[in-house]
Structure 1
């Protein structure tokens, strides 16, 4: 029974042990408090991966105390070897949690033992060496804030503070405030900062999932609309064509003149049906500037190209043909930047020129990159087809090498009075 149910569960996004598929292919349990998703995802661009590594590396500044103690501390050979081993094990566990887990989530049966080992190593090294090792509890707090559910992370941070106070005061043998107090604030702030960041990431993922569902529902609604339109357009026409075909067949060969009239009617109806279908499908497939701007931003960010482009098109009235042609130009230009340019930066601008006495309102699209520039004097089929598409919409296309290298594409279409 289990073998037959699991494939179906996988198809529905459910895990045999309970839960559902979260964003980027990760598994989330049913209870929200038990979710341990990653802070990053495998689809991160190289720039996003470098940013995550930099965020982790910032916290390494607190290791100056333990490293200094290992370098200048008065430790015997076995004690130094033990401290080095414990320190290396601590770093491996920390990096596994904060980098490996934030890229691809680990199961809870691995995360919780690693957190416990971090806490045990920090406590052992602090007791065996000196107070300079108390800073390791900052890393324990950061790791728990990054990988544990909030209710568990709060308990873990509180346990770190208690351990700091216990070891710093020699379990109550020493009164007053010592050097351990300077570690409490970074410990608490680091833990709660990562909890907040993790909560923000979870919220963003849930928003992305909701947007994906909305987009899928919109696509399904558009398919239904097209199906209804095609049914309304073709149902009557095809019924009429079938009826007239049967009638023409019965008229032959006795009444060829009347049969010819029926055939002529069939041709007229079929031509009109073809025109109606082309209009319906043309409106269905025509791209829009708003959608293409969003798609361009996503495509450029995915490959790590710095993108500078407007969030929405300017408030200019365009006929559907003109907007469709300009949207195709944006798609073609961004595709060329992503695939062929080798650029690190791309700028997209939309500039509207108001109508003068001659009524020459225009909307100009410019896509410029800092890549390797034109590959030759002859333009490819994509640009040639784009030039023809813009010409049919009373627009124009121009291309040139950038001032400081790269490639620039400009497309212009007239606006509606």
Structure 2
């Protein structure tokens, strides 16, 4: 490759690195504004510009050229220009893992090594400072498990060339080469690790926000969907009963008021994230909602007492399943069965309606509410199945592991309403 091509490639690498540095700097400023951090706390990620000032170590060789102390100055000047061009090319590619490990980068480092040995071995003196510069470039590129062997090999090479040329001055050259190689690699590796940790922290923060939004949307869906359905059903019942029995209509209106007040309380608790459901409460509400919708409720409950978390999850299933029955099933009866053993508890909600997908707007098996409940139960080690019944209608089955609770299991209780 001609000198002109090498200079051209070095200039392109310089321009590309500068544009990338500006983009990284803009992203860093945007991240600081987004997270409310002061500008001094997090700087832009390092680039090859951080290693450019070390080119001043080659001023001694340039001074020898200007003062005419170097034989064949044109050859020495050309060699120094090529070395500086390769140095710029390598250090700007060293800050990105893909370009750092590219064959072209390794070839540039090999060319720098041969050129350094030729210039330092030929001229000696100030030209030996090219070895520590070479160490900076090698340390920026050779980060990883092979760093020790690479750094030691480069140190031995620098000491050998300097020893043949300058004698005992080789000690300082070897020490400077080893130090520049290892310290550069350590600092850049630490900087890269800090940047990766910062990116990981920001990603975890984004995921936490997404999870909280998902939790809140599920809670609002379960709360408002059921509550509004009950209010609509009871309002229709009050409208039908008003011409015939004002007392019965007022009773439905009172239920609407109670449901509304309870919904306000639950929404406030959902916002703060401290709401816990009660299976008994949800079963009572299910009876009330089904009765108001002219659906006969049949509730069967048996097994030992359940933990608060298990009751809350089963309460969500009852709420969602009964809401779908009231909205879409056109059923005349709905059976809710809770059966527990020492290890597992099973919930079954079935109706004799038209089944999934037959009614307009029916949620079907892949409904949003049922899908969210399936994810919740899976997280707790349980499962949820929703499918058309064998004799028509729709069936929702939920199963959860029984958690230990500090109470004595009561006798089995079976209730039919």
Give the TM-score band, short-chain normalised: 0.3 to 0.5
Larger radius of gyration: 2
Structure 2 length normalisation: TM-score?
0.47
